[in-house]
Chains A and B, each alone.
Chain A
Amino acid sequence: MIVLNKKYFEEILKHSLSHLPNEGCGLLAGTFEGDKKIIKKVYLLTNIDNSPEHFSMDAKEQFDAVKDMRNNDLLLLGNFHSHPSTPARPSDEDKRLAYDKSMSYLILSLEDRKKPVLKSFNIINGEVTEEEIIEGENDNGIC
């Protein structure tokens, strides 16, 4: 399961809304507490595809984010992208491009702009399992 403070959800939402009509994307970093992934920092990245149906993260920004994680003793725990007009479920392309079995893949659906839906998935060899998201209660993302 993944623990996400509300403020990080809001960062993801704001970033994704600002990218409409295109998809927004970014990385999630944090630490493990037992089997819980505690998100402690969200990196808002550029979708270089500039597309409402596809995303590719800017590689330079990805490298910068990973180095920042290392400097702050954080681990890369997952990534997120938005679906501007489809539900929060991995597309065939999402499944095909999910190379890292340890990552959480979060999808924010903006299909109903008034009711954004964020879901997290583990994707292993194309097999999708939804992962529970728990809302953290303080700045450290701890429940």
Chain B
Amino acid sequence: MLIKVNGKEIELSKGVNISEFLIEQKVEMPEYVTVQINEEIIPKEQFETTIISTGDSVEFLYFMGGGSI
């Protein structure tokens, strides 16, 4: 099935949940990744239960934060 990942079309062999998808994409430190599907940010606690479907537009990026102390 075809999906869009960070603006580029890719083929997935089957529907996977977000956690499986991040492993498949070899994303380092997936615990610090924020994911958006079709413009909606998916809470981390839903990564295991949210299945990526044909035609979905998936975006992911690293949380950015820090501090001065």
Residues on A close to B: CB < 8 A? 23, 25, 27, 49, 51-57, 59-60, 62-63, 66-67, 70, 79, 81, 83-86, 90-91, 93-94, 97-100
Contact = CB atoms under 8 A, between A and B. Distances in A.
Given A59-B41, A67-B7, A97 B69 contact: no
Contacts of B68: 23, 52-54, 83-86, 91
B23 interface: no
Nearest to B65: A56
Contacts of B66: 54-55, 81, 90-91, 93-94, 97-98
A47 to B, nearest CB: 9
Interface of B: 6-7, 28-29, 32, 34, 36, 41, 59, 61-69
A93 B64 CA distance: 11
Given A70-B7, A99-B29, A63 B69 contact: no
A81 B59 CA distance: 24
A112 to B, nearest CB: 15
Nearest to B62: A99
B67 A91 contact: yes
B40 to A, nearest CB: 10
A56 B69 contact: no
Contacts of B59: 63, 66-67
A62 B62 CA distance: 9
A51 to B, nearest CB: 8
Nearest to A87: B68
Contacts of A84: 68
Given A67-B59, A70-B7, 14 more contacts: A54-B69, A56-B63, A57-B63, A59-B41, A59-B63, A60-B41, A63-B41, A63-B59, A66-B6, A85-B68, A93-B65, A93-B66, A97-B64, A98-B66
Give the one of A27, A53, A62 with max B CB within 10 A: A62
Contacts of A51: 67
